[in-house]
């Protein structure tokens, strides 16, 4: 590093960027652009016509008229047509919606618009967990014992179970968002789960492809942040501990994973880079691992996009990941003045950061999503608190059409205990009326002894029903 003699053209400067997304991540990207002198374009659905992200961009356009609410952010022909008409240079997809859609990335390229993310080939290949597993195996990175490729028949599933034993987890190859997984503990369960998982995967992800892995009891979820340019240079920005999950979805994240030894950290980050090198990964991405109770790590998947929890990596490294994404997409090298990462050693970290996701879900009622108008809103602020909000203001309407993330609170301090104290203090300052939120639950997590010792694994929430009160 760095490599020279690249076949890529000189960097271009984006004048205008459209965000094909909504809510907090759209606003996050607009802020990054404004600081860089790039004009911003928002799209919004009819249901989002009063939503904050619309007002935070230089231009905003209604899309998806007469369609289902989510289609506004998914039907990419309309988005690309709009981008062309408005002379947009680049599209940032955020997370969710079109962010991992290889067809969309290709359509952007074909229209002469830069897609801010990895190449369409990488999106295509990493979207398939079976393929990604194979890449990891070939790169010499440990994976959880699992089937060789997809499983089609009961006989294949039973043959694997006979060899590997129970418990097992049947996973949708194209799955995401914690969905499309079933845990099986015996043969009857496996017989039942296979056909069901295939049907569910087909319905939810448009592909019935499933595979089977050993189910690890009480693992930790640790993920490594990667950043690569389009010239073959790549660094990691350390790791996050995302073990506090509900239904396989992250609720609280911590950077760094402070209970890891330096040797474990180095091994994880090196393995993440090996996988990215194998697919010539560029732009921001996350390589996810599970750690078993013996501290051994296993690759599970690559998320080829910016993640919800990128804020805490930014806090401990001081690096603006969204701006780096945009610079890389413009064609800049990591060691350029635009990005200033001449080597891995240039990525430093300091302190500890915790992100909690405030959602409009009622913890006392099995986290049922709540909707309605916010009648009062006051946020917790102050030293060490970063807020990323989508619709946190008085008068905002929380609709049932989109996800329930209201505001992300990221706390930074020199150590984990202080970061946890700041996050708790900030949560206690919040006043939100009109919709129920998960704040009482998050406050319980932040005071829990297991959490404060850094000992949470992915079953922490289900093992502690008292957190819901
Ligand atoms: P998704 O793409 O839906 O996020 P992942 O493969 O990243 O799915 O897994 C999400 C979560 O599911 C993990 O963080 C972990 O809690 C659980 N999980 C996945 N695979 C296993 C496994 N083999 N054993 C135990 N838990 C697992």
Average pLDDT in the 114-126 region? 97
* E strand or H helix that includes residue 234: strand 234-246
Q: Is 213 annotated as a binding residue?
A: yes
CA 271 – CA 55 distance, rounded (Å): 42
Residue of minimum CA distance from atom 11 in ligand 1? 248
Residues β-bridged to residue 210: 172
Residue 7: pLDDT band with limits 50, 70, 90 = low
Say whether pLDDT at 1 is over 60: no
Question: Which residues are part of the catalytic machinery?
Answer: 305
Ligand 1: does its nearest atom lie under 6 Å from the Cβ of 390? no
Average pLDDT in the 433-451 region? 98
Q: What is the pLDDT of residues 368-420, one digit of tens each?
A: 999 999 999 999 999 999 999 988 889 999 999 999 999 999 999 999 999 99
Identify the residue whose tokens are 């008085």: 394
3-state DSSP helix/strand/coil % of the chain, to nearest 5: 35, 25, 40
Of 372, 384, 388, residue with least CA distance to 423: 384
CB 246 within 8 A of CB 461: yes
Residue 469: pLDDT band with limits 50, 70, 90 = confident
> Could you tell me the two tokens for 186?
């015996």
Ligand 1: does its nearest atom lie under 6 Å from the Cβ of 300? yes
Residue 306: pLDDT band with limits 50, 70, 90 = very high
Is the sign of the CA dihedral 13, 16, 20, 23 positive or negative? positive
Residue 5: pLDDT band with limits 50, 70, 90 = very low
Global pTM? 0.97
Residue of minimum CA distance from atom 9 in ligand 1? 178
Average pLDDT in the 311-338 region? 98
Atom of ligand 1 nearest to the CA of 214: 23
Q: What is the pLDDT of residues 147-199, one digit of tens each?
A: 999 999 999 999 999 999 999 999 999 998 888 899 999 999 999 999 999 99
- Beta strands 249-255 and 352-359 are antiparallel
């Amino acid at each position: 590093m760095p490599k020279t003699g690249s076949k890529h053209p000189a960097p271009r400067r984006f004048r205008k960027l459209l965000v094909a997304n909504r809510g907090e991540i759209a606003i996050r990207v607009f802020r990054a652009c404004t600081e860089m002198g790039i004009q911003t374009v928002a799209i919004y659905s009819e249901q989002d016509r009063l939503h904050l992200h619309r007002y935070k961009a230089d231009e905003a356009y209604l899309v998806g008229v007469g369609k289902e609410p989510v289609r506004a952010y998914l039907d990419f022909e309309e988005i690309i047509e709009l981008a062309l008409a408005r002379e947009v240079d680049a599209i940032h997809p955020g997370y969710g919606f079109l962010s991992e859609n290889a067809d969309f990335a290709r359509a952007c390229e074909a229209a002469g618009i830069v897609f801010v993310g990895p190449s369409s080939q990488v999106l295509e290949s990493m979207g398939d967990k079976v393929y990604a597993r194979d890449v990891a195996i070939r790169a010499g990175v440990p994976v959880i014992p699992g089937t060789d490729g997809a499983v089609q028949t009961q006989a294949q599933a039973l043959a694997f179970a006979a060899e590997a034993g129970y418990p097992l987890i049947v996973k949708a190859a194209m799955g995401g968002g914690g969905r499309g997984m079933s845990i099986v503990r015996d043969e009857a369960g496996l017989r039942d789960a296979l056909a069901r998982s295939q049907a569910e995967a087909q319905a939810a992800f448009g592909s019935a492809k499933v595979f089977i892995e050993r189910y690890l009891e009480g693992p930790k979820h640790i993920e490594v942040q990667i950043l690569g340019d389009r010239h073959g240079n790549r660094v990691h920005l350390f790791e996050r501990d995302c073990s506090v999950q509900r239904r396989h979805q992250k609720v609280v994240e911590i950077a760094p994973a402070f209970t890891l030894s330096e040797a474990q950290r180095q091994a994880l980050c090196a393995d993440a880079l090996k996988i990215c090198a194998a697919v010539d990964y560029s732009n921001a991405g996350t390589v996810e691992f599970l750690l078993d109770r013996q501290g051994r790590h296993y690759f599970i998947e690559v998320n080829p996009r910016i993640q919800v929890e990128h804020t805490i990596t930014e806090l401990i490294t001081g690096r603006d990941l969204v701006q780096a994404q945009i610079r890389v997409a413009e064609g800049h090298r990591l060691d350029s003045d635009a990005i200033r990462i001449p080597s891995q050693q240039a990525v430093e970290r300091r302190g500890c950061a915790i992100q909690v996701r405030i959602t409009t879900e009622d913890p006392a009622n099995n986290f049922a999503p709540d909707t309605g108008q916010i009648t009062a809103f006051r946020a917790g602020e102050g030293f060490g608190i970063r807020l990323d909000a989508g619709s946190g203001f008085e008068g905002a309407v929380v609709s049932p059409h989109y996800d329930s993330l209201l505001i992300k609170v990221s706390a930074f301090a020199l150590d984990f205990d202080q970061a946890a104290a700041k996050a708790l203090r900030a949560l206690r300052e919040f006043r939100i009326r009109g919709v129920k939120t998960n704040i009482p639950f998050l406050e319980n997590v932040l005071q829990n002894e297991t959490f404060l010792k850094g000992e949470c694994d992915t079953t922490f929430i289900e093992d502690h029903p008292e957190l819901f009160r």
